[in-house]
């Protein structure tokens, strides 16, 4: 390791190099050699010291040996077929565990493949660290054409919450600690950690190396809300005639489940869960207003957002969804927003009572101000919500009992709904357009953090990465409901699922295409429409190719049998469910976001 002493810049490193005889030269003078450590081992020790036990990645220069050594050191290393899927796995592991999910990649192309997932983690407020090996700085910076040359740090910066590079072995402890703190503290996000190839073989004195590591203390410090902000929020909520609580995935992430439930129940306020907050309280809870969403949003007068942003998923808090006269006008609601980010309030409409702090502390503080004399919402409001809910639930029940051939999204998802009800600990992964929207509204969730999906970007491709991570970090059964297009983005990871023998049951809602499978090429030419796939594709054979179970089903009864067997056996299973190819709508529920051509 000739570089170590000369390249070391920090005083401690210089001292270390002088104090510790090298192993190689030690014996000549009769002095006992001092044990050394190196970059590889320091990275592993730093991660382990901080409770990281799983790494998602894909080997190659310069991190191949790191993946081996991580495994030797007792960490779980899950090796993927494409870095993007490893990255999505890391991001959702972060959401599920409150520990940063680690994705490990090679330089340039591997790094870029992981980068989408890093940006996704930042966008969704999930703690994740993308660790990429990188090429020689001297060559990269002079653009001399190194193997996989790229200035990765610069490219990662705008997409990450923070980005760091470590050049010297003795700085690995600081680098890993900073990455963990940045990922977890405040609003969680994606962090990039650049580890150049030359770092790994750098040797330093073992004791000095050990001493340089940092066990991060209180990585996500509680942020206690100010008492006057708590009072303002409570006063506003108390004044409401038609209050509503909206729970977002920040509330699910916070793991303050019991207090959130107490807040909802003690106030008696109807609540709406955002997609990944479903199950925070059971969707069957009497105060759940999901089935009356389009009624409560425009009608509510005071809305308390808990870990949910007023972004596109909530129509920016304005427009017709909120009772505004036109697309841009505000609906007149007053808002309380509970969020850890002090900059979130007023991002779209006025927030009358921002409550800044971590959700656990904020909800506790709110609860402290709610006693038995807290006025329940007026019964006119709660019964109006209940009436609307009843009507919509009855309408839905009618649709669900229909048994058309080929299967509709609804008749297939009625089965998934029953299976999830019978297996409330199973984690549901969901992506697609119609396959997403129908599942979200039909399949009830019963426990917190059991539904993971396309998130803030409506991203396709999270599917198999999420399946692997959810099974690996929780040990629970995973059920994935996948559009056939959505599945294609990560389908090769069925091999990963089989290789690690994970209890994953994938159900493909196969309607032969993106949104629908019945479009034709308008020119009459021989190429198919850009929106359709090979008809009646046999996706289940992909699972069989790797030793898993593949099942082709065309009826709800067959689907039920296949899902029950998958869950009983815990074997990797792919069920190809044939759905009416004309059953979907363009972009599912968000058709209106498609720009319309002016020229006819
Ligand atoms: P959804 O898509 O479910 O509406 P968003 O991702 O838009 O949810 O919003 C999540 C919000 O939760 C973000 O604004 C984020 O700052 C916030 N958040 C995340 N974790 C915490 C936490 N521990 N305490 C408080 N707020 C949090
Ligand atoms: N690429 C990425 C990364 N994310 C996206 N959201 C899209 C493309 C665009 N897109 C959607 O928004 S949904 C979807 C695409 C390609 C697939 C819909 O088809 P599906 O689902 O088969 O998955 P349904 O059930 O047929 O609607
Ligand atoms: Mg489809």
Half-sphere exposure (Cβ direction) of 432: Cα atoms closer than 13 Å? 30
Ligand 2 contact via 413 beta carbon (within 6 Å)? no
Q: Is the CB of residue 168 less than 8 Å from the CB of residue 202?
A: yes
Which atom of ligand 2 is closest in space to residue 590's alpha carbon? 12
pLDDT at res. 232: 98
pLDDT band at 28 (very low <50, low <70, confident <90, very high): low
Taking alpha carbons only, the member of 183, 288, 306, 190 closest to residue 250 is 306
Residue of 32 and 579 predicted with greater confidence:
579
Cα of 332 to ligand 2 centre, how many Å? 34
Residue 36 belongs to what H/E stretch?
strand 36-38
Atom of ligand 1 nearest to the CA of 250: 12
**What local confidence, expressed as pLDDT, does residue 29 receive?**
64
- pLDDT tens track for 353-393: 999 999 999 999 999 999 999 999 999 999 999 999 999 99
By residue count, the chain amounts to: 600
Mean pLDDT in residue range 222-238: 98
Give 572 or 32, the one with higher predicted confidence. Answer: 572
Distance, in Å, from the CA atom of 494 to the CA atom of 547, rounded to the nearest integer, reads 10
Whether residue 7 is predicted with pLDDT greater than 80 in this model: the reply is no
Report the pLDDT averaged over residues 2-25.
39
Task: Indicate whether residue 406 lines ligand 2 (CB < 6 A).
Answer: no
Per-residue H/E/C for 63-106 = CHHHHHHHHHCCCEEEECCCHHHHHHHHHHHHHHHCCCEEEEEC
Task: For residue 430, give the ligand nearest its CA.
Answer: 2
Say how many Å lie between the CA of residue 272 and the centre of ligand 1: 15
User: Taking residues 540-568, what's their average pLDDT?
Assistant: 98
3-state secondary structure of 179: helix
| CA-based R_g, the chain, Å | 26
Write down the pLDDT at residue 17.
38
What's the pLDDT band for 176 if we cut at 50, 70, 90? very high
pLDDT digits (tens, 9 = 90+) for 252-300: 999 999 999 999 999 999 999 999 999 999 999 999 999 999 999 999 9
Best mutation site among 483, 517, 535 for ligand 2 pocket (most ligand atoms within 8 Å of CB): 483
CB-count burial class (<10 Å; 0-12, 13-18, 19+) for 379? exposed
19 against 506, higher pLDDT: 506
CA of residue 487 to ligand 2 center, whole Å:
9
- Secondary structure of residue 272 in the 3-state scheme: strand
Instruction: Give the count of beta carbons closer than 10 Å to the beta carbon of residue 136.
Output: 17
Q: Pocket around ligand 1: residues whose beta carbon is below 6 Å from it?
A: 124-125, 187-188, 248-250, 253-254, 274, 276-277, 307-309, 311, 313, 339-341, 344, 358-359, 456
pLDDT digits (tens, 9 = 90+) for 308-344: 999 999 999 999 999 999 989 999 999 999 999 999 9
Residue 32: pLDDT band with limits 50, 70, 90 = confident
Tell me: pLDDT of 236 over 90: yes
Pocket flag, ligand 2, residue 509 (CB < 6 Å): yes
pLDDT band of 27, cuts 50, 70, 90:
low
pLDDT score of 301:
98
CA of 484 to the centre of ligand 3 (A): 5
In this predicted structure, the answer to whether residue 179 has a pLDDT above a threshold of 90 is: yes
Give the number of whichever ligand sits closest to the CA of residue 310: 1
| pLDDT value of residue 40 | 98
Residue 14, pLDDT > 50, answer no
457: nearest Cα among 70, 159, 227, 81: 159
CB 408 within 8 A of CB 402: yes
Atom of ligand 1 nearest to the CA of 253: 20
Greatest extent of the chain over all pairs of C-alpha atoms, in Å = 91
- Is the pLDDT at 16 greater than 60? The verdict is no
- Report pLDDT for 152: 98
Choose which residue among 413, 439, 512, 514 to substitute to test ligand 2 binding: the one with the highest number of ligand atoms within 8 A of its C-beta. Answer: 514
- Quote the ligand 1 centre to 359 CA distance (angstroms): 9
Cα separation, 136 vs 465, whole angstroms: 30
Q: What is the number of the ligand 1 atom nearest to the C-alpha of 307?
A: 12
Cα–Cα separations (whole angstroms), residue 163 to 108, 157, 189: 16, 6, 11
CB crowding 386-409: b at 16 or more within 10 Å, else e: bebbeebeeeeeeebeeeeebbbb
Q: What are the residue ranges of helices labelled H in 268-378?
A: 293-299, 359-368
Residue scoring higher pLDDT (6 or 431): 431
Specify the 3-state DSSP secondary structure of 541: helix
To test the pocket of ligand 2, the residue of 87, 429, 486, 516 to mutate (highest count of ligand atoms within 8 Å of its CB) is 486
Ligand 2 near 432 CB (within 6 A): yes
Nearest CA among 399, 396, 405, 397 for reference residue 558: 405
**Average confidence (pLDDT) over 465-481:** 99
Q: Please tell me the number of the ligand nearest to residue 511's CA.
A: 3
User: Distance between CA 169 and CA 223 in Å, rounded?
Assistant: 34
Ligand in nearest proximity to the CA of 514: 2
Q: CA 540, CA 412: separation in Å to the nearest integer?
A: 17
- Round the average pLDDT of the chain to a whole number and report it: 94
**Statement: residue 5 has pLDDT above 90:** no
170 has pLDDT over 80: yes
> How many angstroms does the Cα of residue 89 sit away from the middle of ligand 2?
19
Buried b / exposed e over 179-211, threshold 16 CB at 10 Å, is bbbbbbbbebbbbbbbbbbbbbbbbbbbebbee
How confident is the model over 453-460, as a mean pLDDT? Answer: 98
pLDDT band at 13 (very low <50, low <70, confident <90, very high): very low
Closest CA to 451 of 484, 485, 486, 416: 416
Pairing of strands 271-273, 353-356: unpaired
Percent of the chain with pLDDT over 90: 92
At 38, the pLDDT band (50, 70, 90 cuts) reads very high
- Among 85, 416, 433, name the best residue to mutate to test ligand 2's pocket (greatest count of ligand atoms within 8 A of Cβ): 433
Q: What local confidence, expressed as pLDDT, does residue 330 receive?
A: 96
Ligand 1 mutation pick, 100, 186, 248, 430, max ligand atoms within 8 A of CB = 248
458 lines ligand 2 (CB under 6 A): yes
**pTM tops 0.85:** yes
């Amino acid at each position: 390791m000739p570089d170590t002493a000369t390249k070391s810049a920090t005083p401690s490193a210089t001292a270390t190099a002088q104090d510790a005889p090298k192993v190689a030269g030690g014996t000549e003078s009769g002095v006992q050699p001092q044990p050394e450590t190196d970059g590889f081992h320091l990275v592993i020790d730093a991660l382990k010291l901080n409770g990281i036990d799983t790494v998602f990645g894909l080997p190659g220069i310069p991190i191949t040996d790191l993946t081996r050594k991580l495994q030797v050191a007792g960490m779980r290393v899950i090796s993927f077929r494409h870095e993007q899927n490893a990255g999505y796995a890391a991001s959702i592991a972060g959401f599920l565990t409150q520990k940063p999910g680690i994705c490990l990649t090679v330089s340039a192309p591997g790094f870029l493949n992981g980068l989408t997932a890093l940006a996704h983690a930042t966008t969704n407020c999930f703690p994740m660290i993308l660790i990429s090996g990188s090429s020689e700085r001297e060559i990269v910076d002079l653009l001399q054409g190194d193997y996989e040359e790229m200035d990765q740090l610069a490219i990662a910066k705008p997409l990450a919450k923070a980005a760091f590079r470590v050049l010297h072995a003795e700085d690995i402890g600081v680098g890993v600690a900073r990455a963990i703190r940045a990922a977890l503290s405040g609003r969680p996000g994606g962090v990039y950690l650049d580890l150049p190839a030359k770092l790994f073989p750098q040797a330093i004195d073992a004791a000095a190396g050990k001493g340089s590591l940092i066990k991060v203390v209180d990585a996500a410090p509680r942020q206690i809300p100010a008492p006057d902000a708590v009072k303002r929020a409570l006063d506003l909520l108390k004044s409401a005639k038609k209050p509503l609580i909206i729970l977002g995935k920040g509330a699910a992430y916070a793991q303050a489940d019991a207090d959130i439930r107490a807040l909802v129940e003690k106030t008696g306020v109807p609540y709406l869960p955002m997609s990944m907050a479903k199950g925070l309280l059971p969707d069957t809870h009497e105060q759940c207003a999901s089935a009356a969403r389009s009624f409560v949003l425009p009608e509510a007068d005071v809305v308390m957002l808990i870990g949910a942003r007023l972004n596109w998923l909530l129509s920016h808090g304005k427009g017709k969804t909120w009772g505004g006269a036109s697309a841009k006008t505000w609906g007149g609601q007053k808002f309380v927003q509970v969020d850890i980010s002090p900059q979130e309030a007023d991002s779209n409409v006025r927030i009358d009572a921002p409550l800044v702090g971590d959700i656990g502390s904020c909800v506790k503080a709110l609860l402290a101000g709610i006693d038995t004399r807290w006025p329940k919402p007026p019964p006119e409001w709660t019964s109006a919500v209940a009436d609307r809910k009843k009507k919509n639930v009855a309408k839905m029940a009618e649709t669900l009992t229909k048994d058309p051939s080929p299967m509709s999204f609804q008749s297939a998802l009625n089965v998934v709904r029953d299976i999830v009800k019978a297996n409330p600990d199973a984690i549901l992964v969901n992506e697609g357009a119609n396959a997403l929207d129908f599942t979200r509204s039909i399949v009830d969730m019963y426990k917190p953090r059991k539904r993971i999906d396309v998130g803030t970007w409506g991203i396709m491709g999270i599917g198999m990465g999420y399946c692997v991570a959810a099974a690996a970090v929780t040990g629970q059964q995973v059920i994935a409901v996948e559009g056939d297009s959505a599945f294609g983005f990560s389908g090769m990871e069925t091999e990963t699922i089989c290789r690690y023998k994970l209890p994953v049951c994938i159900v493909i809602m196969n309607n032969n295409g993106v949104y629908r499978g019945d479009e034709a090429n308008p020119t009459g030419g021989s190429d198919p429409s850009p929106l359709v796939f090979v008809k009646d594709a046999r996706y289940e054979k992909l699972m069989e190719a790797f030793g898993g179970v593949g099942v082709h089903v065309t009826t709800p009864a067959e689907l039920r049998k296949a899902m029950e067997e998958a869950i009983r056996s815990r074997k990797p299973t792919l069920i190809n469910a044939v759905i009416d190819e004309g059953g979907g709508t363009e972009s599912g529920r968000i058709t209106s976001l498609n720009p319309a051509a002016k020229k006819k």
